[in-house]
Amino acid sequence: MLVLGIESTAHTFGVSVVDANKKKVFSNIMDSFSTEQGGMIPGDVGRHHVGCCQEVIQQALDKAGVKISQIKLISFSQGPGLGNALKVGATAARSLSLIHNIPLVGVNHCIAHLEIGRMLTPAKDPILLYASGANTQVIAFEEGKYRIFGETLDTGIGNFIDTFARYLGLGFPGGPKIEQLAKEGRKNSNFIELPYSIKGMDVAFSGLLTNIRHKISKDMKEGKFTKEDLCYSVQETVFAMLIEVSERAMAHCGKTELVLGGGVACNKRLQKMCDIMCKERSTKSQSCKSFVVENQFNVDNGAMIAWLGYLKFKAEGPQKIEDTAVRPYERTDDVQVAWR
């Protein structure tokens, strides 16, 4: 069954053709909004998606070698996300569905990150550490729902990293650049003590941001440390916070698998820290394992939307057009899960 998935919650307009029965991704095309300087302005992101949507959809079909008439289901990300961005994907999905008479479903973006992990890795019932631009959540399936066991109280970890990068004069997205600088900084092992902010099972980054801004304008200017040292120290600190909450969620839920998802999951150091935590949790009788998908499926992508759309469609059938309004503030635990 060929499914067309359309992702447009934030900076990325992504379209994918997936053969759901064979669990094969035939194409996964994306066009992402970026800047040389400054961050994401919702209106600009919406205009970016309008500008590229037709081309990205066509490329996804061409690369898969299929015609729109062969598509049996259209799935789109219904929320959460930026209203301006979500509406472009939803409108494209509705139009294709109506014109070509193809069933339509809208899905939750955060859960899609988890389900693509279950599709592409051996993980069966994992904890998801979803570390992306706007979202930072530790999610698990418990008592018939995807529930959030810990999350950010302010900004998402990716947005935090991007803001930090902006303070250093780097463009958007900052994550990959910070990762490179941190790798250099690691060689010096000049670790700078920073605020470590966990409240219960939740994390917070805004206090740390203020602290860093102060350190950049004072201590770094005075030559007390380099920007590489700071990147290394920031990464170690914030990733340790995420790992601590993930580990406690694993202990609480009695789960032995961890799946990483979201753009920040592309970070090799975060992947390594997850591996180390799982190894250290393993005992003779029970091994713990962490899994990560290819980068193209960590970042926002149409393939995960297609796959979750298929699961939902199989369980519930198509959605009525009048139920396809976007849901910018939808929570992971609002979603009824009929497919598990």
Strand partners, 146: 141
Query: How far apart, in whole angstroms, are the C-alpha atoms of residue 311 and residue 121?
Result: 16
Q: Please select the residue that binds ligand AMP; options are 208, 300, 309, 335, rule is CB under 6 A.
A: 300
CB atoms under 10 Å from CB of 136, counted, come to 29
Residue 310 has which token pair? Answer: 């298929």
Q: Does 262 bind ligand AMP (CB under 6 A)?
A: yes
Extract the tokens encoding 43. Answer: 């209106």
Minimum distance from residue 237 beta carbon to Mg ion (Å): 23
* Least spacing, CB of residue 10 vs ligand AMP, in Å: 5
Q: How far apart are CA 107 and CA 305, in angstroms?
A: 7
Instruction: Find out whether 43 and 166 touch, Cβ atoms under 8 Å.
Output: no
Q: What is the C-alpha to C-alpha distance for residues 87 and 306, in angstroms, rounded to an integer?
A: 17
Order the strands of the 104-108 sheet from edge to edge.
24-32, 12-19, 2-7, 73-79, 104-108
Name the binder of 267 from ligand AMP, Mg ion, none, CB < 5-8 A by kind. Answer: ligand AMP
How far apart are the C-alpha atoms of 112 and 311, rounded to whole Å?
10
* Number of neighbours of residue 191 by Cβ within 10 angstroms: 14
Strand, helix or coil at 148? Answer: strand
- Name which of 258 and 264 has its Cβ closer to Mg ion: 264
Q: Does 181 bind ligand AMP (CB under 6 A)?
A: no
Residues 179-238 that bind Mg ion (CB under 5 A): none
In the complex, least distance from residue 316 CB atom to ligand AMP, rounded to whole angstroms: 26
132 binds ligand AMP (CB under 6 A): yes
Site for Mg ion in 122-141 (CB under 5 A): 132
77 binding ligand AMP? (CB under 6 A): no
Which of Mg ion, ligand AMP, none is residue 53 near (CB under 5 to 8 Å by kind)?
none
- The one of Mg ion, ligand AMP, none whose footprint includes residue 174, by CB under 5 to 8 A per kind, is ligand AMP
Q: Which does 303 bind (CB under 5 to 8 A by kind): ligand AMP, Mg ion, none?
A: none
Size of the site for ligand AMP (CB under 6 A): 20
Region of 14-22, 92-100, 116-124, 158-166 interacting with ligand AMP (CB under 6 A): 158-166
DSSP code, position 108: E
Q: What angle do CA 145, 146, 149 make, to 5 degrees?
A: 120
Q: Which stretch binds ligand AMP (CB under 6 A): 66-74, 174-182, 225-233, 316-324?
A: 174-182
Contact 290, 63 (CB under 8 A): no
Please tell me whether residue 126 binds ligand AMP under the rule CB under 6 A. no
214 burial class (0-12, 13-18, 19+ CB within 10 angstroms)?
Answer: exposed
Which window, 171-179, 279-287, 309-317, 332-340, contacts ligand AMP (CB under 6 A)? 171-179
> Contact with ligand AMP (CB under 6 A): which of 7, 162, 202, 257?
162
Cβ within 8 Å of residue 58, ≥6 positions away: none
Compute the distance between CA of residue 21 and CA of residue 18 in angstroms, rounded to an integer: 9
**Comparison of 92 and 238: residue with beta carbon closer to ligand AMP:** 238
Site string for Mg ion, 274-303 (x = CB under 5 A): --------------------------x---
Site residues (vs ligand AMP, CB under 6 A) = 10, 12, 132-133, 158-159, 161-162, 173-176, 179, 262-264, 266-267, 299-300
